[in-house]
């Protein structure tokens, strides 16, 4: 009797829902970033922070959610492509072995652990990416295969374990030798994954109900460990959040609060250039020249080639009428950068302050040669020539300054003084009237104290 034909049943490919969802979330976040103007290959730090990257001053302060969200933010197309390929390869296997819930919790816990270790070891370096969570999957599989009871033939288990160990080792080596890779995040995820895999892996052959109870207890323990670790990181490196608090205080016009927070920060990290710069600016806002001077001096000692810090230190000396100290600073600046016309102007002002008007004239002329449109150089040249009783040269320089900046009432006042000295009362009166008219019509600007 002929047998009825048996239809061939083709096995449907396994489509892991959790892995697919995680991959989709990562890709959607990246696409949203690109659509909002973030460069597809190399986003900058500010753009990454806007989208939730991990960063100590924020993560250890008012935005702890970054410890999680940073796992879904990627630094360019290559970064996300590599991570998503790894997630697809490792995620499908992990989801089958551990089950959906345990797999998702292991992935998330490993990502958080990676973020926390990164915050512990380098809290002021922004980090982002799924690498910590993916290393957690590698660790979980290693732990389960080595210590657990995975339903897999011994030969296959041994081969897979060897492959995973090589993958972890090679990637950790690359992370240690290639600049810009957050190996701390990798290590944190791997260690957490190893622990979870070792515990959960022992329960894989248990009945479903008992296995679920053990998983609940396991992840309650993991939660406690992560909270304790987070509290330790906060206690050790929480001071970095003072930078964010100080920045917001400065934006709100509260320099005293900013100074207080920055002092706390600098007590832990006395050589942080950004903090010293912000501290100097806070003192400037208060017209506290002693504090300003100290901050700029520390920054110059830390970064001898920092032109901005030297320039501001020189201005601070000038504001304190310590013209000889200012002269030394600006002479050093023009030696360091001979084409800095503003430094030549300030050198001239310092020389003028110690009575060396002829040398000041030389410095102002040097600034004009470098930048023929430097209004302040012409104005200061005119004033110096007045002190030397060279009224004609003074008038020529101030007229040029007025030509370049026709709406500056102070230059018109200077012109009035020169005309008066020259006995030209008519032009002096006209210049005075122009100064008064310009003063009335000039928009009022907010006063920003300068050193």
Active-site residue among 74, 79, 186, 277?
186
Residue 232 neighbours by CB distance under 10 Å: 12
Query: Annotated catalytic, 186?
Result: yes
Q: CA-based diameter of the chain, in Å?
A: 135
Helix (H, G, I), strand (E, B) or coil at 446: coil
Burial (0-12, 13-18, 19+ Cβ within 10 Å), 32: exposed
Residues 6+ apart with CB under 8 A from 142: 161, 164, 165, 168, 193, 194, 197
Residue 14 backbone phi and psi in degrees, to 5: -75, 125
Residue 127 backbone phi and psi in degrees, to 5: -140, 155
Nearest C-alpha neighbor of 370 from the set 401, 349, 339: 339
Which residues are 127's β-sheet partners? 54
In whole angstroms, how far apart are CA 394 and each of 93, 96, 336, 362?
Answer: 84, 87, 30, 14
Query: Annotated catalytic, 441?
Result: no
Contact 60, 7 (CB under 8 A): no
Burial (0-12, 13-18, 19+ Cβ within 10 Å), 253: exposed
Contact 329, 310 (CB under 8 A): yes
Per-residue b/e over 137-166, b at no fewer than 16 CB within 10 Å?
bbbbbbbbbbebebebeeeebeebbeebee
The token duo for 90 is 């490792």
Residue 54 backbone phi and psi in degrees, to 5: -80, 135
Q: Which residue has the tokens 């679920």?
A: 212
In whole angstroms, how far apart are CA 225 and each of 116, 221, 222, 230?
Answer: 12, 6, 5, 8
Task: Tally helices (H) and strands (E) across the chain.
Answer: 22, 0
Active-site residue among 131, 277, 350, 416?
131
- What does the alpha-carbon distance between residue 306 and residue 19 come to, in Å, rounded to a whole number? 49
Which residues are marked as active site? 131, 186
């Amino acid at each position: 009797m002929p047998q009825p034909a048996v239809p061939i049943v083709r096995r449907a490919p396994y489509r892991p829902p959790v892995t697919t969802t995680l991959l989709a979330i990562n890709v959607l976040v990246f696409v949203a970033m690109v659509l909002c103007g973030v460069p597809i290959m190399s986003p900058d730090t500010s753009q990454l922070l806007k989208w939730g990257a991990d960063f100590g001053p924020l993560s250890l302060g008012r935005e702890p959610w970054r410890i999680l969200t940073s796992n879904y933010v990627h630094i360019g197309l290559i970064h996300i492509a590599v991570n998503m390929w790894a997630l697809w390869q490792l995620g499908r296997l992990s989801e089958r072995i551990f089950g959906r819930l345990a797999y998702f919790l292991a992935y998330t816990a490993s990502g958080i652990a990676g973020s926390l270790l990164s915050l512990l070891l380098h809290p002021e370096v922004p980090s982002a990416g799924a690498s910590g969570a993916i290393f957690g999957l590698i660790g979980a599989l290693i732990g389960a295969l080595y210590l657990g009871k995975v339903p897999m033939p011994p030969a296959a288990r041994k081969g897979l374990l060897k492959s995973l160990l090589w993958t972890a080792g090679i990637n950790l080596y690359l992370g240690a030798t290639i600049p810009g890779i957050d190996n701390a995040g990798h290590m944190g995820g791997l260690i957490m994954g190893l622990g979870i895999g070792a515990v959960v892996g022992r329960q894989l052959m248990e009945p479903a109900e008992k296995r679920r109870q053990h998983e609940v207890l396991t992840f309650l323990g993991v939660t406690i460990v992560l909270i304790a670790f987070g509290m330790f990181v906060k206690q050790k490196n929480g001071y970095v959040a003072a930078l964010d608090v100080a920045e917001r205080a400065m934006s709100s016009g509260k320099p005293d609060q900013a100074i207080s927070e920055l002092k706390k920060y600098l007590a832990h990290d006395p050589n942080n250039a950004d903090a010293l710069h912000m501290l100097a600016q806070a003192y400037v806002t208060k017209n506290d020249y002693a504090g300003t001077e100290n901050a700029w001096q520390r920054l110059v000692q830390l970064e001898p080639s920092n032109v901005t810090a030297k320039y501001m230190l020189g201005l601070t000396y000038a504001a304190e009428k310590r013209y000889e100290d200012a002269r030394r600073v600006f002479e050093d600046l023009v030696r360091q950068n001979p084409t800095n016309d503003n430094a030549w102007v300030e050198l001239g002002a310092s020389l003028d302050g110690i009575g060396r008007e002829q040398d000041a004239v030389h410095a102002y002329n040097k600034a004009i040669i470098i930048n023929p449109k430097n209004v302040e150089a012409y104005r200061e040249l005119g004033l110096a020539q007045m002190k030397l009783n060279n009224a004609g040269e003074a008038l020529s320089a101030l007229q040029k300054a007025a030509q370049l900046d026709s709406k500056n009432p102070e230059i018109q006042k200077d012109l009035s003084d020169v005309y008066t000295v020259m006995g030209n009362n008519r032009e002096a009166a006209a210049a005075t009237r122009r100064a008064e008219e310009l003063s009335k019509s000039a928009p009022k600007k907010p006063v920003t104290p300068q050193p």
